[in-house]
Amino acid sequence: MKFISFETEKCDDCYKCLRSCPTKAIIIKEKTHDIDDNLCIKCGMCQEVCPQKALTIRSELSKVRTAIRSGKKIVASIAPSFVGAFDIENPLSVVTALRQLGFNHVEETGIGAELVSTAFNERLQVSELPNLITSCCPSANYLIEQYYPELTPYILPYISPMVAHGKLLRRKYGTDAYVVFIGPCMAKKAEAEEFQHCTTIDAVLTFEELDQWLAAEQIDLNALEPTPFCAKATKRGGLYPTGSSLLEADLKTRFQSKYKITKVNGIDNCIELLDAMKSGHLDNYCVEMCICNNSCLSGPGMPRNIENSIERKIKLHNYVDNLPYESDLQPILLQEIPLHKSFFPKEIKKKTPTKEELWHILNEIGKTEEADLLNCSACGYRTCYDKAEAVYNGMSDVHMCLPYLRDKAESLRTTIFNHSPNLIVIVDKDYMIKEANPAFRSNFIRKDADLRDLPITLFMPSEKFEDVFASEENILRKKYHYSDLQKTFFENLIYLEDEEVILCIMMDITAVESKQQELMRVKEQTLSSCQEVINKQMRVAQEIASLLGETTAETKVNLNRLKDLVIGEEDKL
């Protein structure tokens, strides 16, 4: 099941999420932005660093609110780090707020933490393994199961404080209780899914989700009176967010065992320790491991508007000072809560390419030898080999390489600049030429001449450049004729504000102008010829008309004479 959703339309392809992902479980391709659950350890770091909020942790808030409206018995188990999650004067105001939201019972998960610590203590006394690792951080457990399977037997075989407390709450409030865990961790959502068969935890909310819920209900924590928890945690349980699960109840003495106790926070430190343990460089260590820096006090589910981790830790210690040393849970009850859990290696579905296959991919982005492998990590991967392997497994596009794209862009820009038929010149505020392409040079002097740092006034009038620098407004498609070159150009003068230069692009329209002039001459000649023909036709028409007039008159005279003659002959008869 997806615990983080990827909104592709919000992503600006900065690869910040991929760089932060410890297992490179993020797929970023041209048309695909997704997370491979097979590789993900649910640490939530990608969502935490995303500046565009394109990654979102799956919310179960509507699920909890539905359960409240249905009238179920709602029980909250709230992680001890709540003390540093909210900007409040009295941490117990959170209990009051949860009751206002509809929770019937509210307890600290630190009670479950005390149960787990007791189990840890017993195991350390009898274990014969060379090293041990605590099981409280689910992301650390996923990291070991998926990427260090040979170290899986070293994980202490116990459930987390969240699950332990969930079992205790069901024992205490009934199997029909609806149990909600509230904490700083996204991985707890995935861990709760593992126990669906026995429904230990019904829903998981992050502190950020709770903060949003309180804001939606317009509940001001600082305006509320504090309310005590239904049951108190112990000092040891309360200090779990600082990575103190292996401390004894008096917080002074360590466990009396053969193991050296240490804690490691932060993904990079965890990986270093696991590498050392895998290679056999550690012996007789019991390690408390947490993926998040500063342990649970810096979980990805913390609200974004809270204090820094040091201030959170101070607030937590001040709160824990008022907690009891010993648990008030009955010993018989402790024995009735099953805490055992088995951890197993998990298969990673990932293909391993041959060296030839890797180099075939690297060749596509212009890397043909070891010297070409910059390992700049701009693509999100640590090395160019890692990038090629991601491409091989369909996790990345082959051309998602910043140096390659930069070189390609520069090469394309250079090609366009050098081979453009347009004349291109760049002029600074002192009217000196900073760059000129071969077309410009060949028109004004020689193609191989170096015109840099020569005044533009040697070749072009400076007035047009002065106008653009003064107004910072571009001149576009202005026609200029250079009589000394016997050429005409369309000129575009573009002011580049950041560089404080003018980019001048000149399009040679001499041939077009010549054709237009020739066309005008042809038109004029054609009009002149047509006028002559018309004039000639008019003259001919007039001459014909004149001739027709004379002929008609003569005909009339002759016809009249013939008429008179005929009439005269008739009279004689």
- Structure confidence at residue 335 as a pLDDT band (50, 70, 90): low
> Residues 397, 388: contact at Cβ < 8 Å?
no
pLDDT, one tens digit per residue, over 452-478 is 899 999 999 989 999 999 999 999 989
- Token pair 């065992």 is at which residue? 257
**Same domain (yes/no): 211, 319:** yes
Is the residue at 515 inside a domain? no
Based on the domain organization, do 8 and 41 belong to the same domain? yes
163 in the same domain as 226 = yes
Task: Retrieve residue 297's tokens.
Answer: 């006090």
Q: Can you give the CATH number for the domain in which 480 is found?
A: 3.30.450.20
Question: Both tokens of residue 199?
Answer: 């429904």
**Using CA atoms, how far apart are residues 153 and 191, in angstroms rounded to an integer?**
19
Q: What is the mean predicted confidence (pLDDT) over 504-515?
A: 87
For 113-157, the pLDDT digits (tens) are 988 988 888 888 889 999 999 999 999 999 999 999 999 999 999
319 in any annotated domain: yes
Give yes or no: residues 120 and 223 share one domain.
yes
Token look-up 């669906």 returns: 196
Alpha-carbon span 183 to 77, nearest angstrom: 9
- Here the CATH number for the domain that contains residue 12 is 3.30.70.20
Whole-angstrom Cα distance, residue 193 to residue 162?
A: 12
Question: pLDDT band for position 429 (50/70/90)?
Answer: very high
Cα–Cα distance list, 260 to 119, 130, 277, 286, 312 (Å): 17, 11, 14, 6, 28
Cα torsion 50, 55, 56, 57: sign: negative
pLDDT higher than 70, residue 247: no
Closest residue by Cα to residue 181 from 301, 316, 325, 327: 301
Q: State how far the Cα of 41 lies from the Cα of 141, in Å rounded to an integer.
A: 8
The percentage of residues in the chain with a pLDDT greater than 70, rounded to a whole number, is 88
Q: For residues 311 and 193, state if they share a domain.
A: yes
- Among 297, 381, 387, residue whose Cα is nearest residue 22: 381
In this predicted structure, the answer to whether residue 562 has a pLDDT above a threshold of 70 is no
Classify strands 74-78 and 475-482 as parallel, antiparallel or unpaired: unpaired
Residues 480 and 389 in one domain: no
Tell me whether residue 37 is in a domain.
Answer: yes
Q: CB–CB of 372/366 below 8 Å?
A: yes
Residue 250 pLDDT greater than 50, yes or no: no
Residue finishing a domain among 508, 532, 564? 508
pLDDT, residue 20, reads 92
Question: Could you give the CA distance from residue 461 to residue 456 in angstroms, rounded to a whole number?
Answer: 8
Is residue 99 pLDDT above 80, yes or no?
Answer: yes
Of 6-10, 102-106, 112-116, 516-520, give the range with the top mean pLDDT. Answer: 102-106
**DSSP label at 370?**
G
Residues 6+ apart with CB under 8 A from 19: 377, 380
Q: Is residue 529 part of a domain?
A: no
* Domain stop point among 336, 365, 385: 336
Q: Which residue has the higher pLDDT, 247 or 517?
A: 517
Q: Tell me: pLDDT of 407 over 90.
A: no
Whether 568 is in a domain gets the answer no
Is there a domain that residue 307 lies in? yes
Whether residues 35 and 104 fall in one domain: no
Q: Per the domain annotation, does 540 fall within a domain?
A: no
User: Pairing between strand 55-57 and 4-6?
Assistant: antiparallel
Q: In this structure, are 305 and 394 located in the same domain?
A: no
pLDDT class of 253 with cuts at 50, 70, 90 = very low
pLDDT band for position 1 (cuts 50, 70, 90): low
Give domain status of residue 324, yes or no: yes
Q: Which two tokens stand for residue 362?
A: 């690297």
pLDDT of residue 259: 85
Residues 50 and 162 in one domain: no
pLDDT of 153: 96
Helical residues (DSSP H) of 364-457, grouped into ranges: 384-392, 402-419, 438-444
Considering the domain architecture, whether residues 37 and 67 belong to the same structural domain is answered as no
- Number of folded domains that form the chain: 4
Chain centroid to Cα 545, Å, comes to 91
Query: What's the CATH number where 249 sits?
Result: 3.40.50.1780
Residue-level pLDDT at 571:
57
Parent domain of 486: 420-508
Say what the pLDDT of residue 195 is: 84
Task: Show which of 309, 336, 363 is a domain's final residue.
Answer: 336
Mean pLDDT of 529-556: 71
Q: Would you state the pLDDT for residue 566?
A: 63
Query: Which positions ≥6 away from 526 have C-beta within 8 Å?
Result: none
Q: Could you tell me if 45 and 72 lie in one domain?
A: no
Same domain, 331 and 367: no
Lookup: tokens for 133: 């690792």
Angle between helices 93-101 and 207-216 (to 10 degrees): 70
CA distances, 318 to each of 73, 237, 265, 304 (Å): 32, 14, 22, 22
How many whole angstroms separate alpha carbon 47 and alpha carbon 56? 6
Residue 421 near residue 440, CB atoms below 8 Å:
no
Residue 249 has pLDDT above 50, yes or no: no
Q: Which residues contact 307 (CB under 8 A, 6 or more apart)?
A: 84, 87, 315
Cα 239 versus chain centre, distance? 35
